[in-house]
């Protein structure tokens, strides 16, 4: 059940209407591993600078994340900063400082190359393609991308689509990539370019899974306290891939359940700044929220209660 993630390990400065965090642990690979490690062992590949507070990642190692592929290079760590508006649905990137990330060329350690489950976090599509040249025969490769790469490296993103099994992007990115404002049509267009499966994330409004045979929708978990949505998408991916790797199958029912686990992990990520909520999250708490999710979304009325509908 080996699960490999390649992505950013960052220091984030985030401002929300509820507070501010400076140089907090962040990055796609960090959020992904924090979520996925609640399900199965994870292998992480990334790079940080010599200024990175490595002790902050100890909780990942304690939860079974193999940090053997995390290179520490001379120079500054990747830093991202962003600010959220009052409804927390839109965010503005204030600054991106690549630091050692500028020269990052992922080297997959020999012991990670047989990974069965692979997640390519949001990095340059050329680098994502480079990772695919190094892994042997994964059961499922899923990848993320962002508006920046669709803008400046569209052809490479399209090359990537031909080589991955699944794409996980948000609704804006799906529209941008396909050139179609209608999400159902955008999905068919993306699937026709390669990936068998597609997940379109819609923030607090949930996520849609498109498979070759159908569509499944899961809402976002209605949280009373949303503190910081940074990393929710990567935590969704971690919960989703973690569940699949743990169950080891790819039946439609497994994929559907994985979407619910993704939604649950994404919701927990928003409850505090950075990875703070994921740090002490337990598998029991995840199961509790999945149970609540099932109650919330089931619309079969108990026998005998149909009257009046
Ligand atoms: P999410 O909120 O799930 O989209 O992910 C946010 C995380 O992505 C933050 O922790 C950032 O450090 C990281 N991030 C933002 N921009 C980039 C980028 N250009 N490349 C890699 N990681 C990024």
> Measured in Å, how far apart are the chain's first and last C-alpha atoms?
45
Model pLDDT, residue 303: 73
Q: Taken in order 199, 202, 207, 213, is the CA torsion positive or negative?
A: negative
Model pLDDT, residue 306: 58
| CB 28 near ligand 1, within 6 Å | yes
Bridge partners of residue 16, in order along the sequence:
19
CATH superfamily placement of domain 3-297: Ribokinase (3.40.1190.20)
Model pLDDT, residue 1: 75
Per DSSP, the residues of the chain read --EEEE---EEEEEEETTEEEEEEEE-HHHHHHHHHTTTS-EEEEEEE-TTS-GGGGHHHHHTTEEEEEEEE-SSPPEEEEEEE-TTSS-EEEEEEE-GGGGG------GGGTT-SEEEE-SS-HHHHHHHHTT----SEEEE---HHHHHH-HHHHHHHHTT-SEEEEEHHHHHHHHT-S-HHHHHHHHHHTS-SEEEEE-GGG-EEEE-SS-EEEEPPP--S-----TTHHHHHHHHHHHHHHHH----HHHHHHHHHHHHHHHHHHTTSSTTHHHHT--HHHHHHHHHHHHHHH--PPPTT--TT-
> Rounded to the nearest whole angstrom, what is the distance from the C-alpha of residue 213 to the centroid of ligand 1?
32
Cα dihedral 198, 201, 205, 207, rounded to 10, equals: 30
Task: Measure the CA–CA gap between 217 and 219, rounded to whole angstroms.
Answer: 7
For the chain, which residues make up each domain, given as ranges?
A: 3-297
> Rounded to the nearest whole angstrom, what is the distance from the C-alpha of residue 238 to the centroid of ligand 1?
14
Q: Which residue owns the Cα nearest ligand 1 atom 14?
A: 27
Nearest to 65 by CA among 269, 223, 309, 242: 242
Which of 13, 28, 228 has most ligand 1 atoms within 8 Å of CB, for mutation?
A: 28
Which of 8, 48, 84, 199 has most ligand 1 atoms within 8 Å of CB, for mutation?
A: 8
Residue tagged 């209407």 (tokens): 17
> Rounded to the nearest whole angstrom, what is the distance from the C-alpha of residue 303 to the centroid of ligand 1?
47
Task: Measure the CA–CA gap between 172 and 157, rounded to whole angstroms.
Answer: 16
Residue tagged 């990334």 (tokens): 46
Residue tagged 């159902």 (tokens): 184
> Rounded to the nearest whole angstrom, what is the distance from the C-alpha of residue 27 to the centroid of ligand 1?
5
CB crowding 210-219: b at 16 or more within 10 Å, else e: bbeeeebebe
Model pLDDT, residue 305: 62
Tokens of 167: 């794409």
Low-confidence ranges of the chain (pLDDT < 50): 309
Q: Return the ligand 1 atom nearest residue 234 CA.
A: 3
Residue 241's CB: how many other CB atoms inside 10 A?
Answer: 29
Model pLDDT, residue 90: 83
């Amino acid at each position: 059940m080996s699960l490999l993630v390649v992505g950013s390990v960052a220091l984030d400065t985030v401002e929300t209407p509820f507070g501010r965090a400076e140089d907090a642990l962040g990055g796609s690979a960090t959020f992904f591993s924090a979520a996925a490690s609640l399900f199965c062992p994870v292998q992480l590949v990334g790079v940080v600078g010599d200024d990175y507070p490595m002790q902050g990642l100890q909780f990942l190692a304690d939860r079974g994340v193999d940090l053997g592929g995390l290179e520490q290079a001379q120079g500054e760590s990747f830093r991202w900063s962003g600010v959220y508006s009052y409804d927390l649905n839109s965010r503005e990137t204030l600054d991106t400082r690549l630091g050692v990330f500028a020269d990052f060329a992922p080297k997959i350690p020999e012991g990670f190359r047989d990974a069965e489950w692979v997640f390519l976090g949001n990095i340059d599509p050329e680098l994502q393609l480079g990772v695919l040249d190094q892994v042997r025969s994964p059961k499922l490769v899923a990848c993320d991308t962002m508006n920046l790469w669709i803008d400046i490296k569209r052809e490479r993103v399209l090359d990537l689509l031909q080589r991955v099994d699944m794409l996980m992007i948000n609704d804006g990115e799906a529209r941008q990539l396909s050139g179609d404002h209608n999400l159902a049509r955008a999905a068919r267009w993306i699937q026709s370019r390669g990936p068998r499966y597609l997940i379109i994330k819609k923030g607090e409004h949930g996520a849609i899974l498109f498979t070759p045979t159908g569509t499944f929708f899961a809402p976002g978990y209605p949280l009373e306290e949303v503190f910081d949505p940074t990393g929710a998408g990567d935590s969704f991916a971690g919960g989703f891939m973690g569940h699949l790797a743990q169950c080891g199958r790819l039946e439609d029912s497994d994929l559907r359940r994985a979407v619910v686990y993704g939604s649950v992990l994404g919701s927990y990520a928003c409850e505090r700044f950075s990875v703070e909520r994921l740090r002490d999250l337990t598998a029991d708490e995840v199961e509790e929220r999945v149970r609540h999710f099932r109650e919330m979304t089931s619309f079969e009325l108990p026998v005998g209660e149909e009257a009046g509908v």
